[in-house]
Amino acid sequence: MTDPAIPAALYEETLRAVGGMADEDIDLADTALAIAALDREDADLTPYRMMLGDIAAAVSRKIPVSERHDLDRRAGALGDVLAGEYAFAGDADTYDDPRNADLIAVMDRRKGLPVALALLYLDVARRLGWNAIGINFPGHFLIRLEQGAGRVILDPFHGGMQRSAADLRGLLKQMAGIDAEMQPEHYAPIGNRATLIRLLNNIKVRAIADGDAVRGGEIIDRMLLIAPDETGLLLEAGACRARTGELRRAASALEAFLATGPGDAQRAEADALLRQVRQRLN
């Protein structure tokens, strides 16, 4: 997607191109690497792309030709290679470390968040021509492998283990409370663009929680590059820029948001914030 060892700022053009792509054409792992490259000078993504190719080759070698269409063998090979040979694991000890959502850091450290690890599993599966999708499970990203009528759900955070319906109910109760029950939307597939937004949202939320609105605004800008139709991000951008004193940028984002014709509640919120920003500009 990009040339190796190029200035980080040029990766913005990569993300802008992704923003104009059809969802199914987005290369998840390569885009996530480009996002991570923005925080590095002269990033060289070649070693990481090579690693992904090597992992896919290792997974393929794990499965005898006669069992290439066996879902259990596919699932087992993914876990054996990614979690076993390459030692990728969920970072339960320092879960909120921002590096856990930075794919370059994840590949260097061999640990990360569920969604970041899922990107690796999805990339490898798709390189091998397998039908693999992300599952928008609350608070714990999962993936699903499909072959014909067969389906298995894998948990990349926990070594790529297969998850049963009972496992998922238990996970949901951990995440959402003991009274939570499984709903159809908990099995719903999530698209490539939304997966990247979920990855970036982890970084944004942690930055804002740490009081770093500048970093939060920077991450929102990246989200807008890859998802320009997510107009709600303009309201977030305006709020972040107002907090950091970038008043003209805040006003521009809020005006752009209001031009999209939002609902009454969001319109009122944006109008009030825009008035405050304009008063400060005067």
Q: Does position 5 have pLDDT exceeding 50, yes or no?
A: yes
Query: Six-digit token pair at 252?
Result: 């521009």
Decide: helix, strand or coil at residue 144: strand
What is the reported pLDDT for 1? 47
Is 53 in the same domain as 119?
yes
Mean pLDDT of 156-170: 89
Is 208 in the same domain as 181?
no
pLDDT, tens only, 14-60: 999 999 999 999 999 999 999 999 999 878 999 999 999 999 999 99
Identify the domain containing residue 203 by its residue range. Answer: 192-281
What is the reported pLDDT for 82? 98
Q: For residue 57, how many other CB atoms are within 10 A of its CB? A: 13
CATH number of the domain residue 96 falls in: 3.10.620
What is the reported pLDDT for 2? 46
Mean pLDDT of 189-208: 95
Report yes or no on 1 lying in a domain.
no
Is 146 in the same domain as 23?
yes
Is 102 in the same domain as 232?
no
What is the CA angle 132-137-140, rounded to 5?
95
Mean pLDDT of 148-160: 94
- Average pLDDT in the chain: 92
Count of domains observed in the chain: 2
Is 22 in the same domain as 133?
yes
Question: What percent of the chain has a predicted confidence (pLDDT) above 90?
Answer: 80
Is 169 in the same domain as 197?
no
CATH number of the domain residue 277 falls in: 1.25.40.10
Is 49 in the same domain as 112?
yes
Is 259 in the same domain as 186?
no
pLDDT, tens only, 60-113: 999 998 898 999 999 999 999 999 999 999 999 999 999 999 999 999 999 999
Q: Are 87 and 97 in contact (CB under 8 A)?
A: no
- Comparing C-alpha atoms, which of 263, 208, 279 is closest to residue 240? 208
Decide: helix, strand or coil at residue 150: strand
175 vs 65: which has the higher pLDDT = 65
Is 111 in the same domain as 137?
yes
Report yes or no on 234 lying in a domain.
yes
> Helices in 91-231 by DSSP H: which ranges?
103-109, 114-127, 165-176, 192-209, 213-226
pLDDT, tens only, 235-246: 999 999 999 999
Is 248 in the same domain as 168?
no
What is the reported pLDDT for 6? 60
Q: Which residue has the tokens 């885009």?
A: 31
Last residue of a domain, one of 170, 190, 210: 190
Whether pTM > 0.85 for this model: the answer is yes
Is 18 in the same domain as 76?
yes
What is the reported pLDDT for 175? 76
Report yes or no on 78 lying in a domain.
yes
